Amino acid sequence: MTPGTLHVVATPLGNLGDLSPRAAELLRTVPVVAAEDTRRTRNLLSHLGASPRLISYHEHSDARRLEALLEILQGGRDVVLVSDAGTPLISDPGAELVAAVRTAGIRVVPIPGPSAVAAVLSAAGLPADRYLFIGFVPRKGTERRRLLARAAAEEWTTVFFEAPSRLLALLSDLAGEAGRDREAVVAREVTKLHEEFRAGSLEELLAHFGDGEVKGEITVVLRGTGQPPEPPDRTEEAGAMAANLLAAGHTRKETVRMVVESLGIPRNDAYRLVMAMP
């Protein structure tokens, strides 16, 4: 039996008119839809007059749900994967399912369409030829600090997703890392009735959004530095490594080569360091 196809379908962020004709036709004819939020997807299907079997599939779904979807595909029926809104797998669940389907030799077909990342970058007015997408950062802890420090030092534009209740905390922490005068854009409720794009320095954005309750889905775009980040100073690490290699009997030429290959420091720097050692 020929297996079915897994279609990964992008759905509207808010405006139902953004659903592509190809996606609409597929949703009207496919037998099974795996949805992150079945209630939200049911509204879209009702709008289309579609009535496929709707199966819940989200980040907390267990292995049995994934296996059930594989069985459906292996049985010859097509499945559509959708997230709450936008393109599945972009800060949304589905990677595990797509990987399992590919491993099983089953075809995966993307149906492109709305994406909050692309939509906001297209209207933010910040460089978007290259960008770093971070998505949602942890609420606190070392990983949050690491990601925000990385964004502050990044030469390219960085894109975040954030919950409205945590927007001020994100802007404040970014201001602490990147400086209060760094330019950014906050996009809210993109493609919806109360869509808002607010551009300015992080200080100006904090003042604007600090005036009242923030509502809606949020995307934050931070301007990059425009310059590559400074490479870390590895002189101390290189010195310790070179001393150990020389003590182990390696020649100075071998030591220079091994330090360069291991630590990625310039060869001239490694050569001077090794030759200066007793």
Q: For the CA atoms of the chain, what is the radius of gyration?
A: 25
Query: In terms of domains, do 130 and 190 share one?
Result: yes
Domain containing residue 109: CATH number: 3.40.1010.10
Q: Are strands 79-82 and 32-35 parallel, antiparallel or unpaired?
A: parallel
Question: Judging by DSSP bridges, how do beta strands 108-111 and 32-35 pair with one another?
Answer: unpaired
- 231 vs 224: which has the higher pLDDT: 224
Residue where one domain finishes, among candidates 59, 87, 114: 114
Domain finish residue from 61, 80, 114:
114
Q: Which of 114, 144, 164 is the endpoint of a domain?
A: 114
- Residue 144, domain member (yes or no): yes
Position with higher pLDDT, 107 vs 213: 107
Identify whether residues 186 and 214 lie together within a single domain: yes
Beta strands 53-56 and 32-35 are parallel
Q: Is residue 227 part of a domain?
A: no
Say if CB 114 and CB 86 are below 8 A apart.
yes
Sign (positive or negative) of CA dihedral 238, 239, 244, 245: positive
Q: Are both 249 and 191 inside the same structural domain?
A: no
What is the number of domains present in the chain? 3
User: In sequence order, which residues have a C-beta less than 8 Å from that of residue 275 and are 6 or more positions away?
Assistant: 252
* 171 and 156 part of one domain: yes
* Secondary structure of residue 43 in the 3-state scheme: helix
pLDDT tens sequence across 1-41: 899 999 999 999 999 999 999 999 999 999 999 999 999 99
In a domain, 66, yes or no: yes
For residue 137, the 8-state DSSP code is P
Tens digits of residue pLDDT in 161-201: 999 999 999 999 999 999 999 999 999 999 999 999 999 99
Give the pair of three-digit tokens for residue 150: 């990385």
The partner residues of 80 in beta bridges, in order of sequence, read 7, 33
Q: Looking at the domain assignment, is residue 229 inside a domain? A: no
The pTM of the full predicted model, rounded to 2 decimals, is 0.81
Digit-coded pLDDT (tens) for 81-93: 999 999 999 988 8
What is the domain extent for residue 267?
235-275
The average pLDDT across 109-135 equals: 97
